[in-house]
Amino acid sequence: MIGRDILGIEDLSREDIETILETAERMQEIGAREVKKVPTLRGRTQINLFFEPSTRTQTSFEIAGKRLAADVVNFSVSSSSVTKRETLLDTAKTLDAMDPDVVVVRHKVAGVPHRLAEVLQAPVINAGDGAHEHPSQALLDMLTVREEKGHIEGLTVTIVGDIAHSRVARSNIYGFRKLGAEVRVAGPPTMLPAEIEQLGVKAYTNLREAIEGADVVMALRIQMERLEGACFPSVREYAATFGLDRAKLRFAKEDAIVMHPGPVNRGVELAHELADHRPSVILDQVRNGVALRMALLYLVSGRGGASA
Amino acid sequence: MSRMIVRNGRLLDPSRDLDLGAGSASLLIEDGRIVALATDGEAIPEEGAEVVDAEGAWIVPGLVDVHAHLREPGQEYKEDLASGGTAAVAGGFTQVACMANTDPVNDDPSVTKYILDRAEKESPAKIRVIAAATRGLRGEVMTEMMALREAGAIAFSDDGATIMDAGVMRRVLEYSKMANAPVVVHAEDCALRAGGVVNEGSVATRLGLPGNPAAAEEIMVARDIRLASLTGAHLHVAHVSTAGAVHMIRKARDAGLRVTAEVTPHHLTLTDEATEGFDTSTRVAPPLRSAADIESLRAGLAEGVIDVIATDHAPHATYEKEVEFTEAPPGMLGLETAVSVSLALVRDNTLSPLEFVRRMSTNGAKVLGLEGGTFREGAPGDVALIDPEREWTYDPAQGFSKSRNSPWAGERFTGRVTATIVDGRLVYHIDRGVLIR
């Protein structure tokens, strides 16, 4: 049974994940209708509490809530709480006093949604915390792979890029492994975190070996501004070594798909020709993101509220 | 003349390797000083004496904490000399050395004197002052160590503001020899630590928090040991947290260098896994390490490679800790829990009761060149009673510190300090509370 909050994939069982994916598959149909709205969450209040700007994720959660007829409020906190001399818990208690039914939290520091979940009455959905977890992204990735491949058990999934700073990588490692896939990670040693193998993955610094025989190749966005010169010498060298293009992709399975959580640095993680067309499924990921987030909102706030 | 007799307990005096069974020895204190230790039925006349019954407890020399942050002057909302000194005696500490990162920084004799004057009036524990090693803790210009020593400082340290310039560190160590006081170092290479807030390893990787590698500590321990060798100064390594650092300190001592070291109760008992759940009270510097590090720290402590258990008592206001993990100031409370937490090492036979007391009292006095840590005749009448079987549940809100940042809130402990005597005065008793301010 899925708990009150959705904080990370690490906390979910295989059955939980399958329940979420099946619920999302039922939600997909709503987005295809002419009138894209059902009354499921009518009268419920959803707050998107974003301490870190993320147009894509926030919009996806907003559309998801609106399609379920929830009242969606975006609460963006641009500066960190410390500079305002207001603590995180102050912010949480303020929101709580407005009686929301679900709070979607994004923060650049790991653990913030977890701390907020301890004090908020409303259930919390983690929309990304630091380099920790991004459960809705991983779930939409699993939904997309399941749609493409029909199953996840037995697949080989390779995640390429800045594993050390990536919440998407961690959540996907947990998720795909729980569903029976083999997960590999690849990147320069400066971007592979300490003891990553303990998460049950094999780590590679050679891209060709990492994607040899892979069914899914997932490229991560590189934070060029922050990391160039620190974790890799130049964007050019990164693109040459780890950037995916058709030539490198030959080593993966013939029917391998390419994924990316977006936004893509064109010509860096992905060559132009891969960003727009199959085998890339990037826009399917975005489309599935709405249905998946509808499923999460429904499961945490739509089953008769906190008593469910 | 004031007289006090402490009797009926198991008396432990590491300075003379004495471990006297329950009821076989009594301690006589007159006018604030130890005058006699009577054994085997020798009678001490009780007329006119205040008798403290230590039945069921250990009678030990007053504990000495070589590393605490008492926050006065400047951050009295976290702690002050009255609250910190009271927390100290409630934890069995009769002497506490406070660090220099106050506001203003204790880099000037006027600040040292201010702290000592205030402590004299406000603190039931005796406060000892560690002054800054460089002005403003900036790691550039050394402080007036002779004047600070004259004002009462007993050691020098920039603590958390590690002196990164090896040239400055060399001069500080050289000059400290003339002041005849140890230099205490928080060994951490700031560039290598970068933004790290938890031990670099599998837990940091899983939690997605920036890691701080053991090498950041070990590089600085290695540097400072080399500088201690170059200068012949007394280097004291604060809160050792890694197996590698223990190894290097062991070799330095084998080579005859004047290197001493401390370890905290939290580094002896908690691993980085305590941070699962992102409780900011587990954010400390250096970070909580691995189980293998704990094993090495305990071995080093048992061998005597690490001399003392020090609290690194670091109070912070609740609202300062109710923030993002990376934004929370490092540090946790220690004075009121040090004995109860560290007694785990007696129960698992890492330390005998006598060796436990040596590391909580006698050795701390020795490292800082203080009186105390002994029941020899003429020593200060400082005594702590520790009941090793007493069970209690720690609630920081019920404690004496102004702050509450402890990972042990709600912890059920076995073993507790039941009374504390400073200079022949009963200042704390578990049933009667704090008796003298």
What element of type H or E holds B282?
A: none
Instruction: State how far the Cα of A84 lies from the Cα of B328, in Å rounded to an integer.
Output: 14
Query: Would you report the helix, strand and coil content of chain B in percent, each value rounded to 5?
Result: 35, 25, 40
Chain B residues within 8 angstroms (CB to CB) of chain A:
200-202, 204-211, 213, 277-278, 319, 322-327
Which chain A residues in 122-181 lie under 8 Å from chain B, judged by CB atoms?
A: 129-133, 164, 167, 170
Q: Pick A194's closest partner by Cβ from B202, B277, B278.
A: B202
Give the model's pLDDT for residue B348: 96
Domains and CATH numbers, chain B: 3-59+380-434 (2.30.40.10), 62-368 (3.20.20.140)
User: Min CA distance, B294 vs chain A (Å)?
Assistant: 19
Please tell me the predicted confidence (pLDDT) of residue A81: 53
Q: Are residues A108 and A41 in the same domain?
A: yes
Beta strands in B9-62 (DSSP E): 10-13, 18-20, 25-30, 33-39, 49-53, 58-61
CB pair distance less than 8 Å for B322 and A88 = yes
- Write down the pLDDT at residue B321: 95
Q: Are residues A148 and A115 in the same domain?
A: no
Q: In Å, how far are A100, A179, A196, B242 from A7, measured between CA atoms? A: 17, 18, 21, 32
Give the whole-angstrom CA distance, residue B70 versus residue B401. 10
Residue A4 lies in a domain: no
User: ω into residue B104 within 30 of 0, thus cis?
Assistant: yes
Q: Which residue ranges in chain B fall short of pLDDT 70?
A: 41, 437
Query: How far is it, in rounded angstroms, from Cα B175 to Cα B190?
Result: 24
Give me the residue from A81, A109, A194 closest to B325, CB to CB: A109
Amino acid (1-letter code) at residue B86? T
Location of structure tokens 């006698």: B362
B197 interaction partners in chain A (CB closer than 8 Å): none
Which residue in B6, B83, B1, B134 sits closest to B418, CA to CA? B6
Active-site residue B312, yes or no? yes
CB contact under 8 A, A87 and B322: yes
pLDDT in tens, A103-157: 999 999 999 999 999 999 999 999 999 999 999 999 999 999 999 999 999 999 9
Q: A204 and A68 share a domain? A: no
Nearest Cα to Cα of residue A45 among A102, A6, A5, A88 = A102
Distances A40 to A17, A68, A294, B266 between C-alpha atoms, Å = 21, 5, 10, 50
Closest Cβ–Cβ partner in B202, B208, B213 for A170: B208
CA distance A240 to B86: 63
> What stretches of chain A adopt beta strand conformation (E)?
45-50, 71-76, 102-107, 124-129, 156-160, 182-186, 202-204, 216-219, 257-259
Closest CA to B66 of B285, B364, B383: B364
User: For the residues of B287-328, what is the DSSP string, one character each?
Assistant: PP--HHHHHHHHHHHHHTSS-EE---B----HHHHSS-TTTS
Provide the H-helix boundaries in B194-316: 202-207, 214-231, 243-254, 265-269, 291-303
More confident residue, B1 or A170: A170
Kindly identify which residue of chain B lies nearest to residue A83, measuring between CA atoms: B327
Residues A114 and A225 in one domain: no
In Å, how far are A300, B42, B69, B270, B347 from A61, measured between CA atoms? Answer: 14, 81, 46, 39, 53
Residue B308 near residue B327, CB atoms below 8 Å: no
Q: Are residues A270 and A143 in the same domain?
A: yes
CB contact under 8 A, A195 and B319: no
A2 in any annotated domain? no
A296 and A261 belong to one structural domain: no
> How far from each other are the two terminal CA atoms of chain A, in whole angstroms?
10
Active-site pick, B65, B158, B312, B382: B312
Q: Which helix (H) or strand (E) holds B361?
A: none
Instruction: Give the residue-averaged pLDDT of A165-169.
Output: 97
A82 pLDDT above the threshold of 60: no
Nearest to B324 among A107, A131, A164 (CB): A107
| Minimal C-alpha gap between B264 and chain A (Å) | 26
Tally of domains within chain A = 2
In terms of residue numbers, what domain contains A14?
9-133+287-307
Question: Do A109 and A194 fall into the same domain?
Answer: no
Q: Is B273 helix (H, G, I), strand (E, B) or coil?
A: helix
Q: Judge whether A1 lies within some domain.
A: no
CATH code of the domain in which A94 resides: 3.40.50.1370
Question: How confident is residue A303, by pLDDT bands cut at 50, 70 and 90?
Answer: low
pLDDT computed for residue A106 by the predictor? 96
Rounded to the nearest integer, the mean pLDDT of chain A is 93
Place of tokens 């997309």: A144
The length of chain B in residues reads 437
B399 closest CA partner among B95, B83, B71: B83
Question: What pLDDT score does A57 carry?
Answer: 96
Considering only CA atoms, give the Rg of chain B: 21
Q: Is the dihedral of CA A134, A283, A149, A1 positive or negative?
A: positive
DSSP string, B60-118: EEPEEEEEE---TTT-TTT--HHHHHHHHHHTTEEEEEE-S-SSS-S-SHHHHHHHHHH
**How close B213 gets to chain A, by Cα (Å)?**
9
Which residues of chain B are within 8 Å of residue A131 when distances are taken between CB atoms?
208-210
A19 touches B at CB < 8 Å: no
**Cα–chain-centroid distance for residue B312?**
6
Q: Which two three-digit tokens encode residue B236?
A: 């004291």
**Residue among B278, B280, B283 with most chain A CBs within 10 A, to mutate:** B278
> Nearest-CA residue of chain A relative to B200?
A194
- For residue A3, being part of any structural domain is answered with no
Whose structure tokens read 């020795």? B366
Give dist(CA A1, CA A19) in Å, integer. Answer: 9
Strands of the sheet containing A71-76, edge to edge, are A71-76, A45-50, A102-107, A124-129
Is A18 within a domain? yes
Residue A86 confidence (pLDDT): 76
Same structural domain, A153 and A226: yes
Distance, CA of A184 to CA of B286 (rounded, Å): 32
As for the ipTM of the complex, it is 0.90
Claim to verify: residue A126 and residue A140 sit in the same structural domain = no
For residues A217 and A109, membership in a common domain is answered with: no
Confirm or reject contact between A11 and chain B (CB < 8 A).
no
Tell me what pLDDT residue A1 has.
67
Q: Are A77 and A208 part of one and the same domain?
A: no
Which positions ≥6 away from B41 have C-beta within 8 Å? none
Residue A235 resides in a domain: yes
Per CB-CB distance under 8 Å, the chain A contacts of B324 are: 80-82, 88, 107, 109, 111-112
Query: Stretch A206-221: mean pLDDT, rounded?
Result: 97
Cβ-Cβ pairs closer than 8 A, A with B, add up to 76
> Does residue A307 carry a pLDDT above 50?
no
Same domain assignment for residues A97 and A176: no
- CA distances B212 to B206, B272, B281, B287, Å, are 14, 11, 17, 7
Nearest CA in chain B to A9: B206
